[in-house]
Structure 1
Amino acid sequence: MADAAETSADLVAAEDVLLFVNAAITATGQREFRSTAGEQQLSLAFLHEYVCTNYRTVYAAALALDINDHNAAGIIERLMRTAGDTDGPQKLTEGRLIAARLAALPPQRVYRLFRALRTAKVNNRRTRAIQRDWLRARPDLGHDAVKYRSGLRAAARHTHLPFGAGALDEEYGDFLFRPGRRIRYEDAFLDAYRRAHYEREAVYELPFTVAEGFAARHGIPRGVFLERIAPRMTRLERLRTQGSGTTADLTVMPLTRLCLYVLSLTRQERVDRRAELTGALRAAALRAAGPHAGTWGRVAAVLDDSYSSYGSGVKRRRPLAVALGSHFLLEALAGSYRAHWTSGAGDPLLVRPWGPSPVGTRILDALEHSPDRLVIVSDGWDNAPPGLAGEVLRVWRTRLDPDRRTSVVHVNPVYDADGFDVRRLTPGVPTAGIRDAEDLAALVEIAQFAEGRTRLGELQAYLDRRCGQFLHRHQEGAR
C-alpha cells in the first residue's frame, strides 16, 4: 500500500514539473487570445512560486531546457532571491546554471534582471559575484556603456564593480559616473558618443538605437540614416525597420522569426515573392532540422490556422507563425509528409487566421493514411464540433492502434492561464508547450514524459542529462 502511495505521489510530482516546463516554454505574461495579461502574469507567478518551493532542484534545471527568456530571467531572479533556502552542492550547481543561462540571454534582459534584483535589495555575496563575472565576460564593455548606459551604471553600483584597474576601466567609470570629466576617450564607442553631440559622421559609429536619437537631433533624413547605419544594425533591427528603407536578410533569420515576417506581408506581396520566401523558409527549416533531416519516416501534421491563431495585439500571429514554421520543419524532417490545415488551406504561404477549429475532422483526415508520426500544432480548442478531436484520438489509441504504430504528439503554442498549463486535446496523447517552431524536435522528446506514466526519477534523469549538455556547451563557448 505504501509503495502504491509513493508511486502515486511520484507521478503527481512529475506532472507538476511538466506543467511548469510547458508554462515556461510558452507563457510570457502577455495577453493571449483568450486571457488578459494580468491573468497570465498571476497564473505564471503562482507556478514559479509553487515549483521553486516544492521542487527546487528541477526548478533550477529548467534553465537548461528550451524555455523562453522571460521565464529564464524569472527563474534566475527567484533562485537568487531565495539563495538562503539551499546550500552545498545544489547551490554550486545553481550558480553554474545561472551563469550559463545569463550568457545566453539578450543583454538588455540581463540588465533588466539586475535592476530588479537591486530593487528587491538582493545583494548577497553570490549575487554580486555572478553579476561581476557576467560583466567582466562582456565582449565590449564600451558598447554596453553606450547602449545600456543606465543598466550598466545600476549594475556597477549594485555589485560595487571597481573602476580603476586599468586606463580603460577608469574611462568607463568616468563615462558612467563623471560625464564631462574627459575631453576625449580611448575607447572608440565612448569617444564616438562624445563626438556625436556635435559631429554628424560620429553618429554612424554608434549602435543603432543610440544613433537614432542623435540622427533626429541633427535632422538627418530617415532614409539616408538607415542606409548608412545598416552595417551597425542587428538582424532584428533590420527586420523592424523593413519597409523604412532597409531590406531584411532572409537567409540568416531563425525559422519562427522568418514566419512572423512572412505573415506580416500582404497576400499580394507573398504571391509576388513566392520563390524567394519559400526558398528562405525551406532553408531555415533545414538548418533547424540539422542531422535529423529526412529521418522521421511518414509524417502527417494537423496545423491550426483558425481565427484564434491570430494570438493578440502583443503576440500578433505568433501561434500561426509556429504552425507555419512547424509545417516547413516537419517537411524537412519527414521522409514523406502530408499537411492538414484546419481551414482546408492548400497553400501554406498564404495561410491567415480564419474560421473555426475543426481539429477533430483534420485528425481523421491525417490518420486515414496511417502515418508513422502525427504531429498536431494547435491551441487545444476544438470547436467544430467541440470535443471531436479528443474522442477521435481516444478511439484511435484504445481501439484502432493499441500497439502505438503511429506516434501522436500535440504541441501547443498558447499558455492557458486558467488551467496553469497548455490546453490538452485528450489525456491519452502527450502534449508539450512550444514557443519557437525550431524547438519542435526537442519538444517531441519532452512530450514522451507527458503521458501520465512517468515518475519523477525518470524525469530528473532526463533533466540531469540536459543540464550536463547545457553546461558543457557553455564551457566550450567560454574557451
Structure 2
Amino acid sequence: MNAPKSVRASAPVPVGADGTVRTEGRVADLVAAEDVLLFVNAAITATGQREFRSGAAEQQLSLDFLHTYVRVNYRRVYAASLALDINHHNAALIVRRLLETAGEASPGELRAEGRLIAARLALLPPPRVYRLFGELRRGKVNNRRTRAIMRDWLAARPDLGHDAVKYRAGLKTVARHIHLPCPEGGGPLAEVGAFLFRPGRLPRYEHGLLDAWRRAHYEQGAVAELPFTVAEGFAAKHGMKREVFLKRAAPGMTRLERLRTQERRAAAGRHGAPAPKADLTVMPLTRLALYVLSLGFEQRAERRAELTGALRAAARRAAGGHAGSWGRVHAVLDDSFSSSGSGQKRRRPLAVALACHHLLEVLAAPGAYRGLWTSGAGDALLVRPWGPTPLGMRILDALEPGADGAAPDRLVIVSDGWDNAPEGLAGEVLRVWRARLDPARRTAVVHVNPVYDAEGFAVRGLAAGVATAGIRDAEDLPALVEIARFAEGRTGTTELYAYLDRRVARFTGAGGEGGVAA
C-alpha cells in the first residue's frame, strides 16, 4: 500500500507547537491543502467496509493511516472535520482519537475540541455513541475530560428510561465508566439504576417502558408497548405469529423500521407477513433511492407514480433554497457493474447516482437538466448495475450544447472514477475541453465519487484540472460542490482554513477561538 500522493511528493510539513502549519512557499501551502482535502474526502466516503474493488481489511488499514497522519500533522483541521458533512463512522473515529490523545493538545485546542465533540455527538445516532463510549471504556480512556463529555451527553438524552430498555448494555457500560449516581431511593435515576444493576428488586416501575419490559416477560399484551427492536425478541420468545406481531407493533414503529421491514419482505418475494406501509414521501433521498433499487423491475414499474413522486419530493426537500439556482445542468451518472457495490454496501454507488439524478433535476433551472447514464438507459427508475464504464463517451455527449444551442453551466459526474471503455478517455476529454474549448471555465465541472479507493488513500479522480469530492449521501451535494473548488489546485490553506473556520463557527455557535488557522 502506497502513501498519499502529497506525502510522497514532499517532506513532512512543519507543524508548530500550537498545532498550526508553518508553510514555507507556495508548494508547501498546496501540499497542506491537498492533505486536508484528501482526508475530508475519505472521511465523507469511507466506512471501513468492503467495496467493489477492495476488501474491508484494506479499507480499514488505509483509513487508519489517514486518521493518524492528519491527526499528528494537522490536529486543528482533524478536529474541525467534525463540522463537515463526514459520515458517522469517521465522526466516531475522530472523537475517539481526539479523546485518546488529549495530552497532545494545547488548552485552547482542548476547549475547541470539546465544543466540536459535544456538537457532533448530539447528531450521531444513539447506538453509535454508546458503541463509541464502550470502545473508550475498553481502551481505558478514563480521563476527567472524557467522563465529563459522557455525563453531558447522557444528561441531554430526552429519556434515559427509553435508553435503558433499547440500549441496555450500552447505557450500563457508560454508567459504570462515569460512576453515574443511581441511588436506591425514589426518582427516575433510581429506577434506571435498579433496572440496570438490580433487576427484579422492584415489583413494578413508575416509568412506562421499564414496567412494560418487566411485564413483557409473561404478558403478550405488553410486547407492543416496547421499542420495535426489543419487542421482536419478546415476540419470538412468546411464539407470536409474525403478522399478529407486526399489526400490534405498527403504531410504535419508526419510519426507518417500517422501511426496513418492507425491504426484507421485498427481498423475500411476496412470502411472509404483510409489513406496515412506510410513508415514502418523508424518507431521506438517498435512503429512499436504496429502497427503490431493492425492488424488482415489475414492482418499480407498477409503483412508478408513487416511487417517482416520493423521489422528487425528497429531492425538493434536499435542495432547499438552492432549487433552480444552478442554471443549465448536464450530468453523467454511472450505472456500470461496479455500481453494484459490495455485500456490505449493496447498490450504494448506484443509489447515490439515482438520488443525485433527481436532486440535480431540482437544482437546475426549470427544463434545463439533462441526465446521461453510462449504460445508455433512458428510464432512471429502472436502472441496474450493468456493463462497462464508458465515461469518456458520455462526457462528450454531456458537453454538447442543449436544445437551445447553449453549453451547460455545470457538468456533474457521479462515478467511482474507473473509466474503462476505453480506459483514460474521460480524463483526456476533460483535459482537451479545458485547454482548447473552454479555457475561460464557462462550464463548471465537478466529479463526485461515492467510493473510497483504499490503495490511493483517496477517492479516484478523472483529470488533474477537474475537482473531485467524495460523497456518501446525495443530500450533501450542494455543500460538496462548494468544498470541491478547493481541490482544483488554485487555492492554498488560507482560503481552505477560512472556509473550515466558518463551518466550525456555524456548527458550534462559537466565535473564532481555536480556529484551524489560529
Q: What range is the shorter-chain TM-score in?
A: over 0.9
Which residue number in structure 2 is paired with residue 168 of structure 1? 188
- 1:303 corresponds to 2:340: no
Q: Which amino acid aligns with 2:296?
A: T
Whole-Å Cα distance in 1 between the matches of residues 476 and 441 of structure 2? Answer: 24
* Match 2:258 to one of 218, 238, 250: 238
Looking at structure 2, the residues matched to 384 and 180 of structure 1 have their Cα atoms a distance apart, in angstroms, of: 66
Work out the percentage of aligned pairs sharing the same amino acid: 74
Counterpart residue number, 1:388: 425
Whichever residue aligns with residue 274 of structure 2, its letter is G
Select the residue among 328, 332, 338 that pairs with 2:358. 328
Q: Which residue of 2 aligns with 1:109?
A: 128
Aligned counterparts of 1:257 and 1:114: Cα–Cα separation in 2: 27
Rounded Cα–Cα distance in structure 2 between residues aligned with 1:113 and 1:418: 27
Distance in 2 between the 1:116 and 1:47 partners? Answer: 20
Answer yes or no: is 1:65 the counterpart of 2:84: yes
Residue in 2 that maps onto 1:415: 452
In the alignment, structure 1 residue 287 sits paired with structure 2 residue 306: no
1:477 maps to which residue? Answer: none
Output the CA distance in 2 between the equivalents of 1:416 and 1:139. 40
Local SS of the residue matching 2:408: coil
Instruction: Tell me, in whole angstroms, the C-alpha distance in 2 between the residues paired with 1:108 and 1:166.
Output: 28
1:178-221 CA-partner distances (Å, limit 9, x unpaired): 11110001111111100111111111110011101111111111
Alignment partner, residue 219 of structure 1: 239
Alignment match of 1:190 (pick from 206, 210, 225): 210
SS in 1 for 2:282: coil
Q: Which amino acid aligns with 2:84?
A: L
Return 53-62 or 243-252, whichever deviates more. 243-252
Q: Which residue of 2 aligns with 1:267?
A: 297
The answer (yes or no) to whether the contact 2:45–2:450 under 8 Å persists in 1 is: yes
The reply to whether residue 375 of structure 1 matches residue 405 of structure 2 is no
CA distance in 2, matches of 1:228, 1:287: 32
Alignment counterpart, residue 29 of structure 1, candidates 48, 58, 61: 48
Q: Which segments of structure 1 move beyond 6 Å, counting only runs of 4 or more?
A: none
Aligned positions of 1:310-349 closer than 5 A: 310-335=340-365, 336-349=368-381
Query: Partner amino acid for 1:245?
Result: P
Residues 114-193 of structure 1 aligned to structure 2 (within 5 Å): 114-164=133-183, 167-193=187-213
In structure 1, what is the Cα distance between the partners aligned to 2:486 and 2:331?
A: 21
Is 1:50 matched up with 2:69? yes
Runs of 5+ consecutive residues of structure 1 not aligned to the other structure: 474-479
Distance 1:7 1:407 in 2: 25
Read off the aligned partner of 1:109 and give its amino acid letter: R
CA RMSD of aligned residues (A): 1.2
Question: Quick check: 2:23–2:29 contact (8 Å CA) kept in 1?
Answer: no
Distance 1:274 1:93 in 2: 49
Unmatched 5+ stretches in structure 2: 1-21, 266-272, 402-406, 511-518
Question: Aligned partners of 2:79 and 2:298: how far apart in 1?
Answer: 47
Measure, in 1, the Cα distance between the counterparts of 2:130 and 2:388: 42
Q: Are 2:267 and 1:248 equivalent residues in the alignment? A: no
User: Cα offset for 1:420?
Assistant: 0.2
Normalized per residue, which structure has more helix?
1
Q: For each residue in 1:414-464, what CA deviation from the matched residue of structure 2 results, as whole angstroms up to 9, or x when unmatched?
A: 000000000000111000000001111110001000011221121111011
Residue 458 (structure 1) aligned with residue 478 (structure 2):
no
Q: Distance in 2 between matches of 1:46 and 1:453?
A: 27
Q: How far has the Cα of 1:227 moved from its partner?
A: 1.4
Distance 1:258 1:232 in 2: 21
Listed one character per residue, the Cα deviations across residues 52-94 of structure 1 (whole Å, up to 9, x for unaligned) are 0100001000001000000000000000000111122211110
For residues 497 and 252 of structure 2, the distance between their equivalents in structure 1, rounded to whole angstroms, comes to 44
User: Which residue of 392, 399, 405 maps to 1:360?
Assistant: 392
SS in 1 for 2:369: strand
* CA deviation string 1:22-48 (max 9, x = no partner): 000000000000000000000000000
**Are the aligned partners of 2:316 and 2:359 in contact in 1 as well (CA < 8 Å)?**
yes
Q: How much does 1:245 deviate?
A: 2.0
**1:142-197 Cα shifts (integer Å, max 9, x gaps):** 00000100100000000111113852111111110111110001111111100111
1:288 is paired with a residue whose SS is helix
Q: Which letter does structure 2 place at the counterpart of 1:201?
A: G
Matching residue of 2:106: 87
Structure 2 distance, partners of 1:176, 1:234, is: 25
Task: Provide the C-alpha distance between the structure 2 equivalents of 1:115 and 1:291, rounded to a whole number of angstroms.
Answer: 40
Q: Structure 1 180/166 Cα, relative in aligned 2: closer, same or farther at 3 Å? A: closer
Q: Which amino acid aligns with 2:460?
A: R
User: Any idea what the Cα deviations from partners look like across 1:288-326, whole Å, max 9, x if unmatched?
Assistant: 001111111000000000000000011000000000000
Q: What amino acid maps onto 1:258 in structure 2?
A: L
- Please give the TM-score of this superposition, normalised by the length of structure 2: 0.90
Rounded Cα–Cα distance in structure 2 between residues aligned with 1:166 and 1:63: 39
8 Å Cα contact 2:453/2:459 also seen in 1: yes
Query: By how many angstroms is 1:271 displaced?
Result: 0.6
Q: 1:315-360, CA deviations, whole angstroms, 9 ceiling, x for partnerless residues? A: 0000000000000000000011001100000000000000000000
Distance 2:464 2:500 in 1: 23
**Equivalent of residue 9 in structure 1, options 14, 25, 28:** 28
